[in-house]
Chains A and B, each alone.
Chain A
Amino acid sequence: MTGGRRVRVMVAKPGLDGHDRGARIIARAYRDAGFEVVYSGLHQSPEEIVEAAIQEDVDMIGLSSLAGAHRYLFPRVVELLKENGIDDIIVVGGGIIPEDDIPKMKAAGIKEIFTPGSPLEQIVQWVKDHVTPREV
């Protein structure tokens, strides 16, 4: 290793839906790609996610939602990060996100949205291209 730590990524399931197949597959793909992965487990509130992300010093949070509650939950995570004075943890999202919601999510500070059918390699590559370890 030529200095610097590995990228730390948190995969998180906000809200009440239990559809975690995608989140778990992505957590594994990140791990295989050499990132350090923290998986939140299910049924997390935005508050719990942000608190864990801060404690774990992650560089990125990947949110997954399939039950239609992303409109409230995703922006809420960004908002809470800001409230904690954090502007360098990148937030991305995935799941069943209607096309029309994607610009709204991006306007709310979600950097990228991955919808069903996105190849794992593409999702991993995005992290490699956009996320570097934060100064902590």
Chain B
Amino acid sequence: MSMTFNPKVFGDIEKAEERWRKELEEIFRQHGERLERFSTVSDVEIGRLYTPLDVRDQRYMDALGFPGEYPFTRGVQPSMYRGRLWTMRMFAGLGTAKDTNRRFHVLVNAGQTGLSTAFDMPTLMGYDSDASKARGECGRCGVAIDTLKDMEDLFDGLPIDQITTSMTINPPASVVWAMYIAMAENRGIPRNVIGGTIQNDMLKEFIAQKTFMCPPRPSVRLVTDTVEFGTREVPRWNTISISGYHIREAGSTAVQELAFTLADGIAYTEEALKRGLPVDSFAPRFSFFFNSHLDFFEEIAKFRAARRMWGKIMRERFKAQNPRSWWLRFHTQTAGCSLTAQQPYNNVVRTALEALAAVLGGTQSLHTNSLDEVLAIPTEEAATIALRTQQIIAEESGVANTIDPLGGSYFVEGLTDKMERDAFEIIRKIDDMGGMLAAIERNYPQQEIADAAYHYQRQIDAGEKTVVGVNKYVTEEDVPVEILEIDEELERLQIEKLNRVKSLRDQTRVAECLERVGEACAADTNVMEPVIAAVKAQATLQEVCDVYRSVFGIYRDPGIY
């Protein structure tokens, strides 16, 4: 029970601070302070100076401890980047499966250490490329996947038994994952060998990202099916990546991102427990995904607070025994919403700072945005610069040479404690509403995020927050940036391919398989085996999702603003 500092020291510091503050106020009376109010991107007010007084209540072993030890503030692994660097996992997806496969090979050859797949909007919403709703969207902001054949083309020639794959897919996650498992098995790689992540976080879709098919409760039921199946059959797979990223992109503050994400994690845990799964059987496979925004210290504090909070939630609230259940492992993406179309080369600098914050915050995996992301899907050159940014941080800057180098900073520790207090307060409110599903049904997180986004935009318009090139240091000249063009022919070619697959398959078998998927949905038995069988028979993504829609109904956006 040792204090961080000898209490006798505080008296001396208080006296010295008093002296300093008087002197400082005299200076500001004469020359003024640069801003009337200093605050983070999230509008948390920041003090002039942080001293040991700000962390006087912190007990080192309780609040920080050692890396790899509860409460994990300083990192989840004992060795952190001294042992192995984070996984450099660039998000990629464009055009057809063959186009994206080519980009994967370019990135792997450039030194990327993990794959990450972006799907196009129809795939994300559970439609095939020939659906009327899909007009104009095929392959536009991700890769189009209709059938197992597309999945096979996507990973052609890539060593999926050695490299892990992340797939950003939510409402149809069970179907896309089934395709991945089927693709691996057709190659002779058993399901218990493959490793990767499906995002599969439906709660944040209703809160922020807004890609949904079915209402919240059956959506969460499908997620729980994958958690249960993964626990039994695919032990190396992360069945959910609980995502704050999109919550932040939708305009939340850092504290809201932290609170809503962990509240989602609590909801998934409760659902899996209701299924009768012991917490330590599935919790070690939960992973997280955070945004790294521009406010350097606020972000570092957020990551450190997140680890400590999840550790407490798992250990104290859910009584998990396995230390791996206490780990909050997370992927980070730099903030797309911080990038500007104006003076786009500035985005390289923004991304570098955000990536540095993620690394100092102890991320396990990182995607750095490309400078042209605000304009279109990244070109190969822009994606490579983004990857090189990570490599320079990792291997030239020296920041990965010691673990949690900012641990003990009065400011960072003070801010970490504040983030934790404020986020737990929001989680308490959600608990009082009856949990995250109930909170979503009354639009609580949606409205909070809308308010924060509007507040931030108003601050930018009023010049209270600076965005270089947008509301300050504006230039008239246009900086030419090369833009990736998606071929207009693509949609037609993809539909042709889909029709070819449909004409060659055994229609009776497909119909039987789809019927079994429907039976599993209605009977509340796990859908994964029937879905794997269906996609192996070349049932399309939409055909399976139409079964979900017909059994569970569809969800309409309530249009909160």
Contacts and interface: CB of A to CB of B under 8 A. Distances in A.
Interface of A: 11, 15-21, 23-25, 27-28, 39-43, 45, 67-69, 71-73, 96, 98-100, 115-117, 119-121
Nearest to B373: A96
Contacts, number: 104
B249 A98 contact: no
Given A43-B125, A116-B340, A98 B141 contact: no
B63 interface: no
Contacts of A99: 375, 478
Contact of A39 (B375, B556, B561): B561
B367 interface: no
Given A41-B556, A42-B210, A98 B483 contact: yes
A117 B470 contact: yes
Contacts of B376: 68, 96, 98
Nearest to A16: B121
Interface residues of B, number: 47
A116 B374 contact: yes
Nearest to A122: B461
Contact of B341 (A42, A45, A69, A116): A116
A68 B372 CA distance: 14
B454 A28 contact: yes
B188 interface: no
A67 B133 contact: no
Contacts of B375: 96, 98-99
B457 A18 contact: no
Contacts of B352: none
B334 interface: no
A23 B250 CA distance: 11
Given A28-B454, A68-B377, A96-B376, A119 B124 contact: no
Interface string B523-561: 000000000000000000000000000000000111111
A28 B560 CA distance: 10
Contacts of A45: 132-133
Contacts of A39: 559, 561
B163 to A, nearest CB: 28
Nearest to B120: A67
A64 B375 CA distance: 14
Contacts of B137: 15-17, 67-69
Interface in B110-144: 121-122, 124-125, 127, 132-137, 140-141
Contacts of B249: 19, 21
B450 A24 contact: yes
Nearest 9 CB-CB pairs, A to B?
A72-B136, A18-B210, A41-B559, A68-B140, A16-B121, A24-B561, A41-B557, A42-B557, A69-B136
B453 A25 contact: yes
Interface string B375-396: 1110000000000000000000
Given A67-B137, A68-B486, A16 B122 contact: yes
A121 B460 CA distance: 11
Contacts of B458: 120
Interface string B38-57: 00000000000000000000
Contacts of A43: 125, 133, 557
Contact of A21 (B134, B337, B460, B486): B337
A73 B136 contact: yes
Contacts of A96: 374-376
Nearest to B488: A71
Given A25-B457, A100-B483, A117 B141 contact: no
A69 B461 contact: no
9 contacts: A16-B124, A17-B141, A41-B559, A42-B557, A45-B133, A67-B137, A96-B374, A117-B470, A120-B461
Contact of B210 (A20, A69, A116): A20
Given A17-B141, A73-B136, A41 B453 contact: no
A121 B461 CA distance: 8
A129 to B, nearest CB: 18
Contacts of B478: 99
A43 B167 CA distance: 22
Contacts of B127: 16
B131 to A, nearest CB: 10
B202 to A, nearest CB: 13
Interface string B196-220: 0000000001000111000000000
B133 A71 contact: no
Interface centre among B141, B376, B486 (most CB of A within 10 A): B141
Nearest to B141: A67
B342 interface: yes
A73 B486 CA distance: 16
Interface string B208-251: 01110000000000000000000000000000000000000111
Contacts of B470: 117
B4 interface: no
B186 interface: no
B476 to A, nearest CB: 14
A45 B561 CA distance: 20
B471 interface: yes
B323 to A, nearest CB: 37
Given A16-B134, A21-B250, A42-B557, A67 B471 contact: no
Contacts of A71: 136
Contacts of A117: 340-342, 467, 470
A44 to B, nearest CB: 9
